[in-house]
Amino acid sequence: MKKICFLFAMHAEAAPLIEKFDLKEEKGFFAPLPPVLYKGEHNGKEIFVVLNGQQNGLDLVGCEPATLTAQLVLSTIRPDLLINAGTCGAFKSKGSAIGDVYLSDKNICFHDRRVGDNGGWYEMGVGFYPCMDATEMADELGFKLGRCTTGSSLDMAAEDLAMITKNEGMLKDMEAAAIAWVAQLHNTPLLCIKSVTDLCDGGRATEEEFRENLSMAAQKLKEACFKVLDYLLK
């Protein structure tokens, strides 16, 4: 493994990693498109951090930016491993707490792509895209394992919750499945590292809880990224 590339949606989540490894921005690498590339070396390996970039001063979140960034990264940088690091919602009823760090487990799903129930359309919508087996890594590093389930909204429509329940989703995020689809097309392994900012069944408004815990969860995420990198490069 020579090249590892982290994908983040939000700059605040990526900043500690960029600082720690003294990564340098490769200005204009994806111009005129918004993604931003940082690059450096660690233990003889090339480390890349790519952000979706911004429009109108806001970080581009969600599945379309994630798709675009993943495609650009996989067709130019061609990393040996893609790591999607970010924050997520989770469920108290499934044993999650705010600040928990998870590695992705089992195939990654969409919960807001309902395009039919028959003839393979259900599976097409949900995706069930592969991610790398992180069982040993999670065990050694003390992280939990959970299935990522992705949608384009912070809120929880009844239809989305039904899909999450049916497919045993544990980590509700806004990018993982889109990245996993593109990674599958390029035959590149993917690992997700997700830090919990809010509980979908905790009785509070997601947006409020998310903003309140983002900074703490980003710290946990940073530490988790360092640990995972040390594990992979040992």
Minimum CB separation from its own copies for residue 108, in Å? 12
Q: Is 205 near its own copies (CB under 8 A)?
A: no
Q: Is 182 near its own copies (CB under 8 A)?
A: yes
What sections of the chain are H helices per DSSP? 11-20, 63-76, 121-126, 135-141, 158-166, 176-185, 206-233
| CB proximity list for 167: less than 8 A, separation 6 or greater | 109, 111, 126, 147, 149
In the beta sheet, which residues pair with residue 196?
Answer: 88
Q: What are the two backbone dihedrals, phi and then psi, of residue 129, each rounded to the nearest 5 degrees? A: -80, 145
First to last CA, the chain: 11
Q: Is 113 near its own copies (CB under 8 A)?
A: yes
Among 57, 136, 142, 203, binds its own copies (CB under 8 A): 57
Q: Is 31 near its own copies (CB under 8 A)?
A: no
Q: Is 107 near its own copies (CB under 8 A)?
A: no
**Crossing angle of helices 206-233 and 11-20, rounded to 10°:** 30
Q: Which is nearer to its own copies, 104 or 184 (CB)?
A: 184
Nearest to 35, CA basis, from 18, 49, 15: 49
Q: Is 56 near its own copies (CB under 8 A)?
A: yes
Among 43, 93, 135, 153, binds its own copies (CB under 8 A): 153
Q: Is 190 near its own copies (CB under 8 A)?
A: no
Question: Which stretches of the chain bind its own copies, using CB under 8 A?
Answer: 32-34, 55-58, 60-64, 67-68, 71-72, 110, 112-117, 119-121, 123-125, 151-155, 157-160, 174, 178, 181-182, 185-187, 207
